[in-house]
Amino acid sequence: MLLAAGLVNFESLIPLAMFGMVAALAWWALEMLAAGKNRTAERLDELKSPRKRREALESALKKPDPFVQILEKATPALAKPLQPTNEAELSKLRLRLSAAGFRGETAGSIYLGLKFAGLVGGFLLGGGTLATLRGASLHTLEMTVGLAAIFFYLPAFVVDFLGSRRKQAIFLALPDALDLMVVCVEAGLGLDQAMRRVAEEMKRTYRVLAGEFALSNFQLQMGRPRAEVLHELGARTGVSDLRALAAVLIQADKFGGSVAQALRTQSDSMRIRRRQLAEEKAAKTAVKLIFPLVLFIFPGIFVVLVGPAAITMVRQMFPLMGG
């Protein structure tokens, strides 16, 4: 009797034990997710020990990447056949890589070396594989040339894709960044301090634009003129709105105009442009929906609506017409 009562009590405790275990696991998961410090605590730590923070960042930046080191050593020899022949082509290549976020000294040689390696690898590997599988023929040669061309232009496609993503990120982040700069300037900060504050506050939400502002702040600290820094900020990103902003700031700084008013006007114009682009995309939606409607949705609706009537006609009307 006592044993049965003990079993009953033990069975009643099993759901409570399961609930306690699930609650403990959920608590542990929340503690692990919330283990990181918030922004306020991080900024207090930076104010307490800025030297340690700077040393940690420098050590993280100086840590070499073995793959990048191998590319830097191997690509200069491969990039020689594709090197630009004049300064205009070299400048165009640097701007293209800079818009995608590659600003190192060896970025151009790595890019050209990867293109040449893709061309050679496409001919050798692709041609050898196709010749082994299909045999030597004109069709095999055409496929080998096409495969080599794909591998040759693949780095260009990747660079253009990364560049378009960075431009889109900068375009979407500019109005919020300008609003924050307006607040900083109206609070009494200069343009340089406002850009530094924007770079610090927006590095978590808009990393691309914060990185561009941080690079501009570094150039200003190195003693470069503000006009050159702003002009380069608009040129290296490839974003027309940022180039317009740089031109407005240069003009306001040159003629002594109100920087806050210029920033506010530019922010309003960018928001209007974003709204117009959204309206344009919404207007194009109806036209773009025609193709999936005609190809995929209308055939299904046609089968559902006309199918039963067609089956009835085949089963009943056609025998009568034949009789």
- Give the mean pLDDT of the chain: 76
Among 122, 131, 125, 109, CA closest to 153? 122
Give residue 112's domain range. 61-166
- Whether residues 243 and 217 fall in one domain: yes
Give the integer Cα–Cα distance in Å for 261 and 265: 6
Higher pLDDT, 29 or 161: 161
Higher per-residue pLDDT: 202 or 12: 202
Domain boundary among 118, 144, 166: 166
Q: What is the pLDDT of residue 105?
A: 76
168 pLDDT above the threshold of 70? yes
Q: What is the pLDDT of residues 129-160, one digit of tens each?
A: 766 666 677 777 777 778 888 888 888 888 88
- Rounded to an integer, what distance in angstroms lies between the CA atom of residue 195 and that of residue 213? 6
Q: What is the pLDDT of residue 139?
A: 73
Residues 65 and 133 in one domain: yes
Please list, in sequence order, all residues whose beta carbon lies within 8 angstroms of the beta carbon of residue 243, skipping any fewer than 6 positions away.
Answer: 234, 235
Q: Are 97 and 108 in contact (CB under 8 A)?
A: yes
Tell me the per-residue pLDDT of 273-312, one tens digit each, with 9 for 90 and over: 888 888 888 888 888 888 888 888 888 888 888 888 888 8
Q: Point out the domain boundary residue: 166, 199, 232.
A: 166
As for how many domains the chain has, the answer is 2
Q: Are residues 255 and 272 in the same domain?
A: yes
Give the pTM: 0.63
User: 62 or 246: which carries more pLDDT confidence?
Assistant: 246
User: Do 203 and 269 have their domain in common?
Assistant: yes
**pLDDT digit string, tens, across residues 205-245:** 888 888 888 888 888 888 888 888 888 888 888 888 888 88
In a domain, 198, yes or no: yes
pLDDT of residue 322: 65
Task: Kindly state whether residue 31 falls inside one of the protein's structural domains.
Answer: no
Residue 159, in any domain of the structure: yes
Query: Is 195 found in the same domain as 118?
Result: no
Per-residue pLDDT, averaged over 3-20, amounts to 55
Q: Give the per-residue pLDDT at 120.
A: 80
DSSP 38: -
Residue 97 reports pLDDT greater than 80: yes
Position 4 confidence tier, pLDDT thresholds 50, 70, 90: very low
Q: Which two tokens stand for residue 94?
A: 């640097």
User: Which is higher by pLDDT, 122 or 163?
Assistant: 163
pLDDT recorded at residue 55:
54
Encoded amino acid at 72, one letter: E
For residue 87 the two structure tokens come to 């300064």
Domain assignment present for 294: no
Q: Which of 111, 140, 166 represents a domain boundary (last residue)?
A: 166
pLDDT of 176 > 70? The answer is yes
Shared domain for 156 and 194, answered yes or no, is: no
- In tens, the pLDDT along 30-48 reads 666 555 555 566 666 656 6
Residue 178 within a domain: yes
Q: Are residues 142 and 192 in the same domain?
A: no
Residue 126 has pLDDT above 60, yes or no: yes
- Mean pLDDT in residue range 5-20: 57
Query: CA-CA distances (angstroms) from residue 35 to 30, 80, 113?
Result: 8, 50, 44
What is the model's pLDDT at position 61?
A: 45
